[in-house]
Structure 1
């Protein structure tokens, strides 16, 4: 009887460690995603410069998204949501503030990353890794042609 009790305690202890580790990993991944998202933007003020950056953004979205662009105008570039899970698709927006400064923002998304209740889905880690790469490389891509 004592062995069964010790085994049950050991299994419960391992489960608690695993859960704490999993939560810490998810928290760290969310922080890394927020940092990548914060870096996935560029500012410009001259119309010609902004148009050039927007053109490069469209090219980047087209190359990095698994689905084709379904809408592209002066304010947004949107790709279709993929039919498969675990595939990254990308949107970009272009906004101008009252001072005339435009901000181009890129946002990667991945089907299956989150469940309907907002908690991480079964493809969370795979999706997070792909999104971080897409968002983290954006500035270098549009700046490479400068």
Structure 2
């Protein structure tokens, strides 16, 4: 009986120690996975290209979307790339636009959405953290991907 009581006390003490750590980790995730960070990632997923490199950058954009989307590309032309809408919650879909600039070149923009990210009244949905992580990683990696691959061409 004393062994069971001692074991229960040790287990309780250990769970109490890990609880603040878990709470701190959740709080950190909530800070990382926040609307301001998602808005910043959207602003970072924009790049201008010149007439000389726009076609190559657009082709790389399509490849990047293929590599990161949970769904396949349903449409791709000279001005837009779209992936299918995910069937399952927590799955990310991406799209991109190529907006011509006066004087030549274009602005390329990568957009993201995720099923299950938001609930009613724009509240955070059950898959918010998982979705936010996918979106943040992909959008923040888009311009560096283009820059690194463009320098290799």
Which of 40, 45, 50 does residue 45 from structure 1 map onto? 50
Question: TM-score w.r.t. structure 2 length?
Answer: 0.74
Which of 140, 146, 150 does residue 142 from structure 1 map onto? 146
Name the larger-Rg structure.
Answer: 2
Shift in Å, 1:27: 9.2
- Cα 1:105/1:76, change in 2 over 3 Å: same
**Counterpart mapping for 1:53-132 below 5 A:** 53-132=57-136
Which of 17, 29, 35 does residue 30 from structure 1 map onto? 35
Q: Distance in 1 between the 2:106 and 2:56 partners? A: 12
Aligned-residue Cα RMSD (Å) equals 2.0
- Matched residue, 1:11: none
Report if the CA contact (8 A) 2:64-2:142 is conserved. yes
Deviation beyond 6 Å, 4+ runs, structure 1: none
- Cα 1:26/1:124, change in 2 over 3 Å: farther
Structure 1: 5+ residue runs without aligned partners?
A: 1-17
Shift in Å, 1:125: 1.3
